[in-house]
A and B are shown apart, each in its own frame.
Chain A
Amino acid sequence: MTDIIQKVKNLSIGFRSKKGEEILILKNISTNIKKGETVGIVGESGSGKSTLALAMMGYVKHGLYTIGGECQFNSSNLLKMKSKDLEKIRGRKIAMIPQNAGQALTPNLKIGYQIDEALQLHSDLDEKEREKKISELLNKVRLPSPETIALRYPHELSGGQQQRVAVAMALAGTPDLLLLDEPTTGLDVTTQAHVLELLNFIAKDTGTSMVYVSHDLGAIAQVSDRIIVMYSGEIVLEGPSRDILKRPIHPYTHGLLKSIPKLSLAGLPESMPGTQPQPGTIQSGCSFFDRCNFSDENCKNNSPKLEFLKDLNTSVRCFNYEKLVNESQASQTVNKIKNKSQDKEILNLSEVSISYAKQKLLDQIFNRISDDNPTVKDININIKKGETIALVGESGSGKSTILKSIAGLLRTKDGLIRFDENRNLSSDLKERDPNDLRIIQLIFQNPDESLNPNHTVEEIIAQPLKLYFGLKGEELKKNIIDLLQKVRLGEFYTSRYPRQLSGGEKQRVAVARAFAAKPDIILCDEVTSALDVSVQAAVLNLLQQLKEDFGTTYIFVSHDLAVVRAISDRVAVLYQGRLCEVGPSNDVYKFPSHPYTEVLLGAVLEPDPDIKPKLVAEDIVEERPPEKGCSFQGRCSRIVGDICKKEIPPWQLTDSGNAIRCHIPIKELQKEQF
């Protein structure tokens, strides 16, 4: 057929281990990409999805080699092509959009220059035509005033704008096939929704085929016509996206969809046990056997083949898919969390302001910070014992800054942080006594960075035990093993190094270290955003279990509203370091909302093709909070007039105890948002 643009045939890619064994990263992959079609390739880290996408442009990563099969583009095998011929195809016929556009753009060249470079390489236009084409391309990716953007340097643009420039560069060669490797990962929720919308528009407008690689089923659901689910180097499920998302007939996809927290459901999603096997460890049987709820003897000994089901128009690699055909995705069960918070207040922030401004000489002498417009201002939150409060906002909203101040890592400019109603926590780390430090512990976003790579798990967990309780010898060992068991890791983990653990295991060790101090409050800074979806649910469930056992209070920072919805009792929404809305999570997720909360909720991507994100506000990035008036005035779509620019809005209470800081009366907000 002529409308097939890329044909992958029996492709196997792998590497040779030190012992000389051939280890496969991709196992016998066959698929076709049709003209004008958007295919989503989804899988967890290590599933081989990026390797497949790179092979589609004839590139095999250093250290890997093609073991068999081919990638046909216009009926020539890219993997056997000479680099000179490949150069003619890459950029002109097949273009790639990288994950991190900020790193993919050359920092010392102007945007226009870089696009022009791509045009010179991939088209035969003369200077005048190229000039026109540059503004045309920038217009197409909806960048405001192309003439000025073309003269800027990459660092002068926001993350979303950089990603748009990368799209423009890829379009410069008018390619037939666009490969996108996690193009929206790392962008803010609202920006992500805008970029996806742009990609959808471009797919329709230019008729380009797209291959969209991502771990995020929510993003995949928004763009793709067809979905390929990869697991351990194999295609386990392939079919039209609606069918796959609505009726996942492979146990892995089924479990994956169940473990994603949803906006519409409060409570923790079910987690999938286990982790993806390392390449080369599976000898016989189905690679998903260990984690499958539907497996039997047959699965252990025989590996299933990818089977095309005509009536479902889907290919599946499973013996027992029939068990899943009748079960729909809607049967998602969640573990409802009980709000165990007591009335006793444990932490109180009153009028807290934090500034990153550099101290002038005079300020240094008087040991003060003078900044009229600090990064974080007027934060008033009461946190009750045993509750989970979430701080939500996009990057730059000051949520992590507030955490740092509570932990004592950052001085506050003004305001008080009180613990247990009467104990005043001084803002500086050095002035806090050891007990003040013990009661507040941190868990970080990236366990790769938060665990010392040269310490064993035992040494890592021993640190707080030695420091705060002076434990030694047998007692220390006993405590370490006790903690490891609490986070569901066995005692044989003690002698391992972080590099020998998977992402989820590492984060469990970090959790164990935090609990080793027997803290009253644990600050969780984006603790699940670096983890795979199936692992994320497990870590959230663990945190909830530990909280119920120990009565700990969590302050949970996240940009992911669905995760926050799953775990928190109360939510505080921040914009530009100012509070917009504070309330019980059930009410924050219901209208009426602060206009900013409305924007955030609208931009959440659900793994459901029927729920489209609502783009309410522009994705402008504001550098500094406005000096006067409402913090959200720059992007608000419901702005009522001068009052928003001049006066700080008042707090208004809804009937359910939700506090919204807006000039628009609650009743009117309610009317407009419904």
Chain B
Amino acid sequence: MKLDNIYKEEKKSAFAKLSEIIITMASRPSGIIGLSILVFHIILAFISPYIAPHDFKAIDPTLMLQAPSAEYWFGTDDLGRDVFTRTILGGRTALTITFFGSLIALLWGGLLGIFCGLVGGKIDDVVMRIVDAFLSIPWILAMLLIVSLLGTSTEVLIPALGFFYGKGIVRVARAATHDVIAKDFIVSARARGHSNFSIIWNEIIPNVRDAILVEGAMRWSWMLLGFSSLSFLGFGVSPPTPDWGLMISNARGLMSFAYWAVIAPIVGLSSLIIGINLTADAFAKALGIDRSTKAPV
């Protein structure tokens, strides 16, 4: 065997690994359902502006609260806007903001957790107590404070959500690091005299990456719910931008006679959350981090 071939094989394997993981995920019923829902939502978010049958902000008092019909598939809302159009557009902002929000949460939560797990001692004690303190603050109150001070722009929401949802990841990353830190290959790297940075990058991250990624995927669905709650309370997306949380909030008073206006966004939101949850679970199983491991006997 020629040497070059060996090295080529190595480089290809990152893509091969990913496709292998996706195939494993799709081979389970829950995985394929979750993946399809998630992919459907993502595609919808990209193409919805082009396929929307009506203008999402066109107010028409004559069409107020119409029941579903051939023209307006999901009916119209209290301002006469098409619910179908608003529903397919309503996930775009939430998806974008929470996706980048969870990336930020993963990054700071994961790195801080790994660092604390590695150095231990006093630094670990102090940082973890601060994290605990933040965990005890009801996040929605804190978010309301931030949003009312700095506004509801994307530049504020993404880092704020990222910050609040990263705290939990710190704990998970730290615990995952503790699992590998006592292994001999870390001791071996220490004895050779590698720097902390090199140990984190080369020895720890490859071994805790999977656990942290799965945790991040779960956080994504929680953050989506959180963000929709903010919109519901009027602190997320500002009207007339279509958003599920906002739509639910507007239509909930009319639920008894115009159920269509509230059901459509609810289905949108919950299906996306279920999709992400199922995908995250299948992802965990495909990576071999099964949380529901049964006893061997």
Contact = CB atoms under 8 A, between A and B. Distances in A.
Interface stretch (B1-9, B216-224, B227-235): B1-9
A61 B296 CA distance: 8
Contacts of A446: 184
Question: How many of chain A's residues touch chain B, expressed as a range?
Answer: 35 or more
Given A463-B202, A495-B6, A495-B10, A452 B185 contact: yes
A450 B3 CA distance: 26
Given A409-B191, A442-B191, A450 B184 contact: yes
B192 A463 contact: yes
B188 A444 contact: yes
A455 interface: yes
A281 B3 CA distance: 27
Majority-rule SS of B interface residues? helix
Interface string B260-297: 00000000000000000000000000000000000011
Interface string A446-487: 100111111110100001100110000000010001000000
Nearest to A455: B206
Interface string B123-166: 00000000000000000000000000000000000000000000
A454 B14 CA distance: 12
B187 to A, nearest CB: 7
Given A454-B206, A454-B207, A494-B6, A429 B193 contact: yes
B3 A491 contact: yes
B192 A464 contact: yes
Contacts of B189: 463
Contacts of A455: 202, 206
Contacts of A494: 6
A467 B190 CA distance: 12
B40 to A, nearest CB: 29
A477 B207 contact: no
Contacts of A467: 192-194, 198
Interface string B204-246: 0011000000000000000000000000000000000000000
A432 B192 CA distance: 11
Given A456-B10, A477-B3, A491-B3, A408 B191 contact: yes
A444 B6 contact: no
Question: How many of chain B's residues touch chain A, expressed as a range?
Answer: 20 to 34
Contacts of A61: 296
Contact of A434 (B10, B184, B193): B193
A440 to B, nearest CB: 8
Nearest to A436: B193
B193 A449 contact: no
B172 to A, nearest CB: 18
A366 interface: no
A409 B190 contact: yes
A101 interface: no
A407 B189 CA distance: 12
Nearest to B203: A452
Interface in B1-43: 1, 3, 6-7, 9-10
Contacts of A513: 188
A103 to B, nearest CB: 12
A674 interface: no
Contacts of A452: 185, 202-203, 206-207
Contacts of B194: 463, 467
A513 to B, nearest CB: 8
Given A446-B184, A452-B185, A495-B9, A432 B206 contact: no
Nearest to B183: A449
A438 B296 CA distance: 43
Contacts of B297: 62
Contacts of A454: 206-207
Contacts of A445: 184
Contacts of A492: 1, 6
A249 interface: no
Nearest to A444: B184
Contacts of B3: 477, 481, 491
A437 interface: yes
A517 B189 CA distance: 12
A429 B183 contact: no
Contacts of A409: 187, 190-191
Contacts of A438: 192-193
Interface of B: 1, 3, 6-7, 9-10, 183-185, 187-194, 198, 202-203, 206-207, 296-297
Interface of A: 61-62, 407-409, 429, 432, 434, 437-438, 440-442, 444-446, 449-456, 458, 463-464, 467-468, 477, 481, 491-492, 494-495, 513, 517
5 contacts: A442-B188, A450-B188, A464-B192, A468-B192, A481-B3
Given A62-B297, A409-B191, A458-B10, 12 more contacts: A408-B191, A409-B190, A429-B193, A432-B193, A437-B192, A444-B184, A444-B187, A452-B185, A454-B207, A467-B194, A491-B1, A492-B6
